[in-house]
Structure 1
């Protein structure tokens, strides 16, 4: 079986006074990695999933986090695991 891997990135805007709560909540979501926080409330995350449906589901879950103002996809790429493994040296 050749499973697809979807890698996407988002900028999440949070209320500045709830930034740490939102960061912690994002870290609890499957496949999410938090990469950058800005005191103004901007958070850069990546998401790794096996389908575009999971991206949509995670995005909806992010909007349910108290303190989240917006969640915008910046990048999306999909390849099979086999294709990704061919890049590993």
Structure 2
């Protein structure tokens, strides 16, 4: 293609999104099987009414959107809506962290927020 634009990420990233999927209950079992075969898609929870929370992980936002579109195309899916999107460098995902460090950081942020109010 003469005028095609190639988009190359600046660094090695991982896109992590949460998606709420609503499936007609009578299609749930078949839809679960299809979702379980999609790369980077993990079903987290669901209820008897056919509402699911799904996490999708992929190296690009485009690949995330393609998986959401695949979910929307599954028979019985009424809707699939992204509710959160986080991007993290693959390098930082490989770092180990101590829970005590995370709790300490949150405590400091909470104290600073209270001071500003």
Same fold by TM-score greater than 0.5: yes
Q: Among residues 63, 76, 86, which one is paired with 1:54 in the alignment?
A: 63
Greater C-alpha radius of gyration: 2
Higher-strand-fraction structure: 1
> 2:11 and 2:61 mapped to 1: Cα distance?
16
1:43 maps to 52
Following superposition, which runs of at least 4 residues in structure 1 exceed 6 angstroms of deviation?
A: none
Unpaired runs of 5+ residues, structure 2, are 1-9, 98-117
Q: 1:66 matched to which residue of 2?
A: 75
Q: Which runs of 5+ in 1 are unaligned?
A: none
Tell me which protein shows more helix as a share of its residues. Answer: 2
Query: SS at 1:9's partner residue?
Result: strand
Deviation at 1:59, TM superposition (A): 1.0
Q: How high is the TM-score relative to the length of structure 1?
A: 0.92
Greater relative CO (CA pairs within 8 A, separation 6+): 1
Partner residue, 1:31:
40
